[in-house]
Amino acid sequence: MRLPLKRSRSVASVAVLALMVVGCAQNGSQGPAAQGGDAVVAPISDPVVAFAASGAPGAEETVVLPSTGQTARVRMVRAYAAASGRDCREILVRTDGSTQTRLICRAGNGWREARPLIQDASARP
């Protein structure tokens, strides 16, 4: 049986809308590995993550990086609510040879390393 053109478009529109809603609902419940751009939940034992969780914008601290054993100076550049609704912290990590920006966002009860949308967002021309 063939539906009238107007009704078939309505049915198709409702079906597309339903799929979009289901997709959005599932996206929020996926685990860290399934979300593609985000890394896994960072353990609070990472001193940079611990600093991000407790620091305030402008705060600085010296930490030892567990991956390299290097001493690093960390500074919280800014704290903000991302479009996703998560609390995020932009952290500047300076070692003897380099400067790195890390973006760390709240993920449930923990924190997750996130990929910045803009590289060197805190850099000024």
* pLDDT value of position 19: 40
Q: What is the rounded CA–CA span in Å between residue 102 and residue 74? A: 10
Distances (CA, A) of 10 to 21, 22, 51: 17, 18, 52
Residue for token pair 């959005």: 24
Number of domains present in the structure of the chain: 2
* pLDDT value of position 18: 42
- Residue type, position 106, single letter: R
* pLDDT value of position 55: 85
Q: Model-level pTM? A: 0.60
CB atoms within 10 A of CB 32: 16
Q: What is the mean pLDDT of each run of 10 residues along the chain (125 residues)?
A: 51 42 37 44 80 92 92 96 92 92 91 77 49
Question: Cβ contacts of residue 87 below 8 Å, gap of 6+?
Answer: 79, 80, 81, 105, 106
Torsion of CA 65, 71, 72, 74, to 10 degrees: 80
> Residue 18 corresponds to which tokens in the numbers above?
């339903």
Instruction: Assess whether 69 and 118 both reside in one domain.
Output: yes
CB contact at 8 A, 36 and 30: no
Instruction: Assess whether 13 and 56 both reside in one domain.
Output: no
For residue 7, the enclosing domain spans 1-30
Instruction: Assess whether 40 and 26 both reside in one domain.
Output: no
* pLDDT value of position 63: 96
